[in-house]
Chain A
Amino acid sequence: MKKEIICTVCPMGCEIEVEGSDKEVTSIKGFGCKRGEVYGNNEFLHPVRILTSTVKVAGQNELLAVRSEEPIPKELIMDCMKVIAEKTVCDTPIQRYDVVIPNICDSGINIVATSTVK
């Protein structure tokens, strides 16, 4: 398998070419720095993203902004969005970084509040 990956570590946007299988990288070229090489490897084997969205707060129209505490595997993003869409927060007040959805989609990662609700 061969993938072309645009590096997002810095604004340079190096085009990294990675070859390998699900489990290992056999060839990587085109990166501009060490961090780029790490990014290329990760993005090839196991791409992850920070997921941000909003959840409903019972009795309020304004939404609560939330994020995944850590980056989430890319393939889980849309499943996570379904869980987030269903969620309504009832226990107010909410402080920043309060856990809103623990261990979303069994990823081991929590969805936490990034804004506050009085």
Chain B
Amino acid sequence: MLKTDVVVIGGGAVGCGIARELSKYHINVIVVDKNEDIGGDASKSNSAIIHTGYDAAPGTLESELVVAANPMFPQLVKELQIPFEETGAILPAITEEQFMQLPAIKEKAFKNRVYDVEYLTKEQIIEMEPNINPEVKGGLYIPRESIIDPFIYVQALAENASENGVDFLLNTKVTDIRVENNQIKAVETTGETIETKYVINAAALYCDEIAAMVGKTDYKVVARRGQFYILDKNTSCKVKHIVLPIPTKITKGKLMCPTIHGNMLVGPTAEDLDNKTDKSVTTEGLESIVEDVKRLVPEVNIRDTITQYSGLRPNRNPEGLHIDVYDDVEGYINLSGIRSTGLTLSLSIGVYVAQLMKRQGAELIYREDFKNTREGIKVFHTMTVEEQEAVIAQNPKYGNIICRCETITEGEILAAIHRPIGARSVDAIKRRVRAGMGRCQGGFCGPKVIEILARELNIPIEDVNKNVTGSYMVLGKVK
């Protein structure tokens, strides 16, 4: 039996964001996640954009949280060493009809208190993004829309929280929540039981199932699948900004933007599923992306794709972002309906949740020894030759290049395994240091990464997983 003050269910961006915020206070926090790694599900398969909130529904909690979160990023990414760039977004109007919509979009931005949205002329757009459809009539510029490394972002939050005393229980699924006298008592898991005063449900896709454990069944989560393409860094047609379509009544549409590592990202689709597990990519879905994005960037070269993936947005029915507390379950905070803007608002939602906890009587005393910085893994390929020489001299493993596409060294892979909340799977390494993220998708480094994991974790090779339990990479020795 473990004892704590707060259990956060879900180690995605929102769960880790809240845990990191609470780690500023004298309060014990445990984050529980069913997966083998932090990073969640939706938090690791999305468009990796930090939004401004210009297009949120004005007056909603989502608008409030996104608009509050965006300006928090530039400082945080410095403190926690997270790859981030304020590229800005362009919203080109390709048709007359879209052109007529621009004032309404600008007005909506104003209502969301995003004041820096500007009109762009056709000439300005073509100057800024020569690859945009030359039929463009004009558009809008949203300066603070940014791109981030979503994996490192969540890792950084979690690692920093961990350094400040938060515990992480991975491969641990919550099976029940005990409530006594209208008060949270304990969380039952596939591992140990955790006695606690507070439970924060940040279980995203599964938050309805967690809510049902405390008798709350007023909503359901429907997985809305989004499929994406990633294109090679050397693709013939690139953009420098986030190029967003003008939304229609039915869909927000598909975008094209650079990733923080120089690839192109194209997508997503929006398909409501009748299950919560089908992260397939489909021919129809991928074809629809190409068709739509070609209207924005006609020369986009999909043949340069190096990977396709899909993520499941935890869409709420009835819709809308909700943060709920209940008189009959004191100490329980329920988060639901957090979708595309979740990555952004994961930074402000912790502040909001902390306030809610205070109102419920939590004593949040600031920790004077709170450490607000985190040192990232030293990245070999961005160093100067002199720096590279120095780092190999200090640690020869940095001279052994394991991933040829992204130039990732054994030194970086070992660091990924041996730091707080270290990598335990092939994908966890990939998300921490990008080994296998390049154009050969692990064809070259995969066999080596499997060997390194087995060696460093001192486990048989057949116990090395791609990600979750059951995703074994190999059967064992041949002979």
Q: Interface digits, A55-69 against B, CB 8 Å rule (1 contact, 0 not)?
A: 110000001000000
CB of A54 within 8 A of chain B? yes
Chain B residues with CB below 8 A from A54, complex form: 478-479
| Total CB contacts across the A-B interface at under 8 A | 7
- Docked CA distance A29–B3 (Å): 84
CB neighbors of B among A32-61 (8 A): 54-56
B-side interface mostly: loop
B27 to chain A, nearest CB (A): 48
Size category of the binding interface on chain B: under 10
- Docked CA distance A55–B478 (Å): 10
B412 to chain A, nearest CB (A): 23
Chain A residues with CB below 8 A from B479, complex form: 54-56, 63, 85
Chain B residues with CB below 8 A from A85, complex form: 479
A-side interface mostly: strand
- For residue B461, which residue of chain A has the nearest CB? A61
- Docked CA distance A55–B479 (Å): 8
B427 to chain A, nearest CB (A): 24
- Docked CA distance A54–B478 (Å): 9
- Docked CA distance A105–B134 (Å): 74
Chain A residues with CB below 8 A from B478, complex form: 54, 63
- For residue A88, which residue of chain B has the nearest CB? B479
- Docked CA distance A40–B135 (Å): 67
- Docked CA distance A85–B479 (Å): 6
B475 to chain A, nearest CB (A): 15
Q: Interface digits, B442-479 against A, CB 8 Å rule (1 contact, 0 not)?
A: 00000000000000000000000000000000000011
- For residue A86, which residue of chain B has the nearest CB? B479
B460 to chain A, nearest CB (A): 13
- Docked CA distance A63–B478 (Å): 10
B454 to chain A, nearest CB (A): 10
Q: Interface digits, B376-416 against A, CB 8 Å rule (1 contact, 0 not)?
A: 00000000000000000000000000000000000000000
- Docked CA distance A85–B477 (Å): 11
- Docked CA distance A85–B478 (Å): 9
A117 to chain B, nearest CB (A): 15
B468 to chain A, nearest CB (A): 27
- For residue B451, which residue of chain A has the nearest CB? A61
- Docked CA distance A56–B478 (Å): 9
- Docked CA distance A56–B479 (Å): 7
Q: Interface digits, A73-105 against B, CB 8 Å rule (1 contact, 0 not)?
A: 000000000000100000000000000000000
B250 to chain A, nearest CB (A): 55
- Docked CA distance A41–B479 (Å): 37
Q: Show the binding face of A for B, using Cβ within 8 Å.
A: 54-56, 63, 85
Q: Show the binding face of B for A, using Cβ within 8 Å.
A: 478-479
Q: List 7 interface pairs A-B (beta carbons < 8 Å), by A numbering.
A: A54-B478, A54-B479, A55-B479, A56-B479, A63-B478, A63-B479, A85-B479
User: Which 6 pairs from chain A and chain B are nearest by CB?
Assistant: A56-B479, A85-B479, A54-B478, A54-B479, A55-B479, A63-B478
